[in-house]
């Protein structure tokens, strides 16, 4: 038997309503904050991620689904959404759009070849937003507040927002130097990844999962102490404005994020809920001031975040929050013989075109089984169609919840149901 690829999942019909509910909510909230949807291809040139996300990151080094197409181009299934959006922004010259800044969102499958674990998939759906073309602490606050609004709107409570500033390129250079001086003498005690990171991206040592308990991580220099005045000022304004609108956060000086493009504001939301599993990051994001120029674009900056719907669902489950089940169909027509089934199949065709949701039993089961079926399909009303009903044109319209029924004409069914 051919099985589903490792790290992927089927969203079965019994569960797809949860996804639809979440997707609808996210679309609504995006509209609320005036973000418009952008759709980019499922695959991009590999170079986009190597340059955009960064050659020293786990994503680029270990996790990309890269392949040569028949034209011998190297393509990669997108592991994240920011680089593709920025590519599209540059290619479509959105810096000249009349509406500024560019505020977009996406909801699409992403692909990373990661070790399968609870909350970690090889294909997962990210909802993300990007605000490009403005550098102002207030837009950073808008992005973070939208994120928290999303989680709160689903009723989640056990959340923690962590923020940090990674500063600008100058502060980062000074900080990296301090980290190299701090870790270099004892780098042999660290994992092989960190031994590479010390040369490629020392900041990433700080969020290494293997070495997180090493004493030197705890005593490492703090980014904040290396921020120049401008970066400090920016960070202080972000915090002050988060305070002003009552968004609670904790500053985590070791928060560096796993992608290379970040500058200034960086943030993550974690779940504190018991039973969430080992991976507790629900969402991550931050500002990327150098990314557009790194991809040969204009001198514009951006900020955004991405969350996966898979982890949002896990968080809801961990906090015992149920997504309301959708309503069933309006009408189920039970039939007593072949002639009635044929008539019913014509009738539902008309009713459906009028917007009434209805169904019949194609398996030609006994009446009792059909009634059960109607119940399972959540039918609000049922009628039974047999020889007598066909000849008189009268049917009993039964309200399933109350059990009440009344005789109605078959040809007034449509109007009656429309009214109800
Ligand atoms: P990221 O931290 O790599 O950032 O991913 C963002 C979120 O995607 C994570 O917090 C998590 O919810 C989800 N995620 C990542 N990997 C997996 C996985 N294997 N299975 C399930 N969920 C996963 C980015 O992707 C950046 N592009 C975010 C961003 C947007 N920064 C600025 N704008």
> 77-104, pLDDT tens digit by residue?
999 999 999 999 999 999 999 999 999 9
The answer to whether the annotation marks 409 as part of a ligand binding site is: no
For the Cβ of 84 lying below 6 angstroms from any atom of ligand 1, the answer is no
396 has pLDDT over 80: yes
**79 CA distance to ligand 1 middle (Å):** 9
Give residue 283's pLDDT band: very low, low, confident or very high (50, 70, 90): very high
Cα distance between residue 23 and residue 105, in whole Å: 12
CATH topology of domain 331-419: Rossmann fold (3.40.50)
Question: Phi-psi bin for 113: left (phi > 0), alpha (psi -120 to 50), beta?
Answer: beta
Mean pLDDT of the chain: 95
For the Cβ of 130 lying below 6 angstroms from any atom of ligand 1, the answer is yes
For 13-168+228-319, the fitting CATH number among 3.10.20.90, 3.30.930.10, 2.30.30.90, 2.60.40.10 is 3.30.930.10
**372 CA distance to ligand 1 middle (Å):** 44
- Strands 358-360 and 331-335 come out as parallel
Q: For the chain, give every domain's residue range.
A: 13-168+228-319, 331-419
Contact 315, 276 (CB under 8 A): yes
For the Cβ of 114 lying below 6 angstroms from any atom of ligand 1, the answer is yes
Contact 283, 306 (CB under 8 A): yes
C-alpha distances (whole Å) from 81 to each of 87, 141, 305 are: 10, 21, 9
277 has pLDDT over 80: no
**156 CA distance to ligand 1 middle (Å):** 19
Instruction: Check residue 275 and give its pLDDT.
Output: 78
For ligand 1, pick from 126, 159, 312, 315 the residue to mutate: most ligand atoms within 8 Å of CB.
Answer: 126
For the Cβ of 383 lying below 6 angstroms from any atom of ligand 1, the answer is no
pLDDT tens digit sequence for 112-140:
999 989 999 999 999 999 999 999 999 99
pLDDT tens digit sequence for 176-188:
999 999 999 999 9
**69 CA distance to ligand 1 middle (Å):** 26
Token pair of 93, please?
A: 């010259």
Residues in a beta bridge with 250: 162
Cα distance between residue 412 and residue 211, in whole Å: 73
The answer to whether the annotation marks 257 as part of a ligand binding site is: yes
Contact 289, 201 (CB under 8 A): no
Nearest ligand 1 atom to alpha carbon 281: 10
Give residue 389's pLDDT band: very low, low, confident or very high (50, 70, 90): very high
**97 CA distance to ligand 1 middle (Å):** 28
pLDDT tens digit sequence for 20-73:
999 999 999 999 999 999 999 999 999 999 999 998 888 999 999 999 999 999
Cα distance between residue 268 and residue 157, in whole Å: 15
The answer to whether the annotation marks 80 as part of a ligand binding site is: yes
Instruction: Check residue 391 and give its pLDDT.
Output: 94
Instruction: Check residue 361 and give its pLDDT.
Output: 96
Mean predicted confidence (pLDDT) in 333-338: 97
């Amino acid at each position: 038997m051919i099985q589903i690829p490792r790290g992927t999942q089927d969203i079965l019909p019994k569960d797809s309503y949860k996804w639809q509910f979440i997707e609808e909510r996210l679309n609504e909230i995006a509209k609320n904050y005036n973000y418009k949807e952008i759709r980019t291809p499922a695959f991009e040139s590999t170079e986009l991620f190597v340059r955009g996300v960064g050659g020293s990151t786990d994503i680029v080094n270990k996790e990309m689904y890269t392949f040569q197409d028949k034209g011998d181009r190297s393509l990669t299934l997108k592991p994240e959404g920011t680089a593709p959006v920025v590519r599209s922004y540059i290619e479509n010259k959105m810096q000249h759009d009349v509406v500024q800044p560019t505020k977009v969102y996406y909801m699409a499958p992403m692909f990373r070849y990661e070790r399968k674990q609870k909350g970690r998939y090889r294909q997962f759906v990210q909802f993300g937003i990007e605000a490009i073309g403005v550098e102002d602490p207030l837009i950073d606050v808008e992005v973070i507040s939208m994120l928290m609004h999303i989680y709160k709107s689903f009723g989640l409570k056990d959340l923690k927002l962590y923020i940090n500033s990674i500063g600008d390129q100058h502060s980062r250079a000074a900080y990296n130097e301090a980290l190299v001086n701090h870790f270099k003498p004892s780098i042999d005690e660290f994992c092989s990844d960190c031994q590479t990171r010390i040369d490629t991206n020392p900041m990433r040592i700080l969020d290494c999962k293997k070495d997180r308990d090493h004493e030197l991580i705890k005593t490492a220099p703090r980014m904040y102490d290396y921020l120049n005045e401008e970066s400090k000022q920016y960070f202080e304004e972000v915090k002050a404005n988060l305070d002003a609108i009552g968004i609670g956060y904790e500053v985590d000086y070791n928060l560096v994020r796993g992608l290379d493009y970040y500058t200034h504001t960086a943030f993550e939301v974690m779940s504190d809920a018991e039973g969430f599993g080992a991976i507790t990051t629900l969402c991550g994001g931050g500002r990327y001031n150098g990314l557009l120029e790194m991809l040969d674009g204009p001198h514009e900056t951006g900020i955004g975040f991405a969350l996966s719907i898979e982890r949002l669902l896990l968080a809801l489950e961990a906090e015992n929050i149920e997504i309301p089940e959708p309503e069933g169909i309006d009408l189920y027509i039970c039939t007593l013989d072949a002639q009635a089934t044929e008539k019913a199949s014509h009738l539902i065709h008309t009713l459906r075109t009028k917007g009434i949701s209805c169904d019949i039993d194609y398996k030609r089961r006994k009446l009792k089984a059909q009634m059960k079926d109607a119940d399972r399909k959540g039918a609000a009303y049922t009628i039974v169609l047999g020889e007598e009903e066909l000849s008189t044109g009268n049917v009993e319209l039964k309200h399933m919840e109350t059990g009440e029924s009344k005789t109605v004409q078959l040809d007034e069914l449509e109007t009656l149901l429309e009214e109800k």
